[in-house]
Amino acid sequence: MHTNDTTINILVADDETATRHMITQYLKKKGYTVFEAADGFEAFTAIIDQTINIAIIDWMMPGMNGLELCRKIRDYQKGPYIFIIMLTAKTKNNELIEGFEAGVDEYVHKPLNLQELMARIHVGARIVGLERKLLEKQRELTNNNQMKNKFIGIVAHDLRNPLISIRGFSELLIKDSQNFTSEQNEFLDIIHTTSRNMLAMINDLLDISRIESGNMLLDLQPGALKVMILERIQIVSLQAAKKHITIHKDLSTIPEIVFDHHRMGQAVDNLVTNAIKFSPSGSNVYIKLKKVKSNVHFDVTDEGPGIPQEEQHLLFSEFHRLSVRPTGGETSTGLGLTIAKKIIEAHNGKIEFESREGRGSTFRLILPLVAEPAQSLFENPV
């Protein structure tokens, strides 16, 4: 790797004037920008005021020695990594290890050899160069992600309206089923079901695009979580009945909390519909709501196949589909749990889960009874 070392700023901190000037002049002749400090306090001020890439620090300095300065730099450091080269006459292993633990990257032993120092600087320059490349890649990935979200948002929005029309017209035709043959009615059912499933997927894509772009605004109002949950269960009850799945409810009455009724309903839907999707016909789904200390717990437990241990880390990742498949041929974008997690976190809550292969899964929404919502994810109105 060829790194342009001369684009690197170097700090030389040494209380010995002659040594400091010698190093400074040597490095300036090599084309570096060099800052000097006569003690630890001056050095730390330079770290704050300037962009320093490599710091050459003498261990023995008055006021704040090199080791103390090193610790302070590591505690303070917020920007690009500072590569620290420590100048010392110390050779005992325990002392050198103490320096590494404080954040030293390389040592140059006294009496000073400028060629050795230059070699250590080249090592630091390679580290700085690698970090710069990594940051550039990170910026590139961020820009690509923003473009992806914009593209998804545009495409999903353009597809949504015609799908709504298809679903609506198919509903009208289904209501007039006596004027069609059994085969035509079958085709209409397929059109309606497919358009409804596609619309659900489009809505998921729009939601994830809005969330990642920070363009989803929470409408926070006090309300009864239990009432909202009962409404959502009623909506999915037909889906459960088709698979002969029994939903068992154990919902305690809890104090009103502040939440976005629509978005929280969306999170609840995702958990309950997932339980139905992945449960075998004739099984049970258990739904509980209770107050636990200063939090509200909403649990959904199924009797499905469970989630393999090696796949559980992918549960809340975007677009990841696990090896466990829906038991009734249902469709999925792989975004439901991601969206639910973002919504709950925006309410200062969290999602937990327990799952054992062959023994089903439990997903739990935990919400604070009283909290300021974390709206940083949802800054701008759509």
Condensed to tens digits (0 to 9), the pLDDT of residues 65-96 reads 999 999 999 988 777 899 999 999 988 999 99
Residue 295 CA to residue 81 CA, distance in Å, equals 40
152 or 304: whose pLDDT is higher? 304
Confidence of residue 104 (pLDDT cuts 50, 70, 90): very high
Which fold, 220-377? Heat Shock Protein 90 (3.30.565)
Query: 372 pLDDT exceeds 60?
Result: no
User: In this predicted model, what pLDDT tens digit does every residue of 166-191 receive, in sequence order?
Assistant: 888 888 888 888 888 889 888 988 88
User: In this predicted model, what pLDDT tens digit does every residue of 16-52 receive, in sequence order?
Assistant: 999 999 999 999 999 899 999 999 999 999 998 889 9
Q: Check: CATH 1.20.140.10 for 143-213?
A: no
For 232, counting Cβ atoms within 10 Å of its Cβ (0-12 exposed, 13-18 middle, 19+ buried), the class is buried
Of 342, 317, 122, 347, whose CA–CA distance to 223 is shortest? 347
Q: What is the 3-state secondary structure (H, E, C) of 303-338?
A: CCCCCCHHHHHHCCCCCCCCCCCCCCCCCCCCCHHH
Which fold, 5-112? Rossmann fold (3.40.50)
Percent of the chain at pLDDT above 90?
42
Query: 330 pLDDT exceeds 90?
Result: no
Is the link from the previous residue into 111 a cis peptide, with omega within 30 of 0? Answer: yes
Cβ pair 130, 111 in contact under 8 A: no
Q: Give me the residue spans of the domains in the chain.
A: 5-112, 143-213, 220-377
pTM (predicted TM-score): 0.55
Separation in Å, CA 99 to CA 57, 87, 93: 12, 11, 10
In terms of average pLDDT, the best of 21-25, 143-147, 197-201 is 21-25
Same fold? 5-112, 220-377: no
